[in-house]
Chains A and B, each alone.
Chain A
Amino acid sequence: MEPELAIRLVTSLREAGIDFVSYLPESRLSQILPLMRKDPGFKLAPSASEADAVSIAVGTTLGGKQTACYMESTGIYVSCYQLLVVALHLRVPVLLLVSHLGGFDDQRNSFLYSLAGRRLIPQFEALDIEFKVLENGNHIEQDIGNAVRTMNALREPVALVFTGDFTT
């Protein structure tokens, strides 16, 4: 991802009101982490598992934060149970920032990732989680603002799936 795109992504999150991010780091969007760490508008919670990151995000949201949860596509499988039995069952909005590692437009795809990537979208559909795939940053500010508004309206997690230009 070009540094300028990472800056726009982080700026868009802040401007959309995101002030807390739980995460397990990955390879495609990782430039956003040092940017958020330097920004006093964000509080970060590194997690040992995406399952923990999702449950922490539910707790921080109930505690008044506007929370995003950042992970790669495989993290959705790891956190599927927490998404279902905590976030969806309690109807708590969390913005899922998911790199589409292994997806069709993943510019660094390989046989190691493609199986998990191919089944990501069906996984969201099975969980009935609203999502949008972003291939480039043309409308990143609007897309993130829309996602935050949608998750708050739904009172459910909503996912932004980053591929294409975000995976270079």
Chain B
Amino acid sequence: MNRYECLQSLMPLITDHLIVTSQSGQRIEWGSLSKHEGNLLLGEMGAALSVGTGLALALPKRKIVVLESDGSVLLALSSLATLANLEVSNLAVFIFDNGAYSGTRISEPSATGGRTDLETVARGAGIERSVTVRELAEFEKYAPSAMEGKALNFIVCKVQESLLHRDIPRPDLDLLENKYRFIRYLQRTEGRLPSFIGRG
């Protein structure tokens, strides 16, 4: 199973979800597959999970999806304990865990390529609905219910390292352009704007 196949199978499940990605391959691949205005393609590691948590807290009726990587989650392990102790039931977290820092271009192994198991870490942090999937059929079994947004789901997707994202054009959406597109989408679908907008 590779990440791109998983992302392809998520595509038909997207309705009015808000999707946050961390930096790296999932940002490029998801940005290429999906032009959904509810995408927030963050440009760094170690923050997508908590930004998604914040969105889930602010918008409890919306379904929030976070597309993360092993390296990004390992950079912010405290965010698992933070998330587990908040009242969040509208968040689906997919960790595409290839056990390596592919961005290094030398496939330097990450901790999950060694002894660390993110499902166990998440469960120990208090996230009960934590699972690991290794086959696309398993992913396709778990993804629809996670995307329904009725409970916090943490799905570690053990994927082969793929360099496909190097052959895909990178998203040309500037971070600020992305932010405003995202906010305008929320304005249309929620009927209100954040208080820092529209005070010209």
- A-side residues, CB < 8 A to B, are 17, 20, 22, 43, 45-49, 51-67, 81-82, 85-86, 89-93, 151-153, 155
Contact = CB atoms under 8 A, between A and B. Distances in A.
A62 B179 contact: yes
A85 B57 contact: no
Contact of B54 (A46, A48, A49, A59): A59
B182 interface: yes
Contacts of B21: none
Given A61-B194, A152-B195, A90 B179 contact: yes
A107 B193 CA distance: 41
B199 interface: yes
Contact size range, B: 35 or more
Interface string B44-68: 1011011111111111000000000
Given A64-B58, A155-B196, A49 B53 contact: no
Contacts of A91: 176, 179
Interface in B10-35: 20
Nearest to A22: B54
A54 B79 CA distance: 11
B55 A86 contact: no
B82 A47 contact: yes
A86 B176 CA distance: 11
A46 B158 CA distance: 31
Given A48-B82, A52-B76, A52-B78, A60 B55 contact: yes
A49 B81 CA distance: 9
